[in-house]
Amino acid sequence: MIRRKEDMVSEIRERMREGTGEVEIVHIFKKNELKGKARLCARLILKKDCSIGFHTHENEEEIFYIISGKGFMEENGKTFEVNAGDAILTGDGAGHSIGNKYDEPLEVLAVILLYS
């Protein structure tokens, strides 16, 4: 299956997971199109001063791949900068948040895989 960019569904979430500002979610494939054990395959776009609040991943794991821009990530009490080309894996009960305090938008490929 090929999904053209212009055919992807986009939505805006305000204060996603109690974060700040807006997050644009561009659904590359919808959950019902994924036959494997996954519930999200999307591009996330965070403009300056926007974030996704801290949340945990029980019985699943989330992969973030930084497509462009830079931002900050909190994972289990530690905060660090992330840049284009970085990849993050959070799961098995661990938690994380991600945000952007820079002028350039932060674009992230996000995939959530289910354990069962």
pLDDT digits (tens), the chain, 116 positions: 999 999 999 999 999 999 999 999 999 999 999 999 999 999 999 999 999 999 999 999 999 999 999 999 999 899 999 999 999 999 999 999 999 999 999 999 999 999 98
- The pLDDT assigned to 74 comes to 97
pLDDT for res 34: 94
- State the pLDDT at residue 76: 83
Q: How many CB atoms lie within 10 A of CB 58?
A: 11
- Global pTM reads 0.95
pLDDT score, position 108: 98
Domains (ranges, CATH) in the chain?
Answer: 8-114 (2.60.120.10)
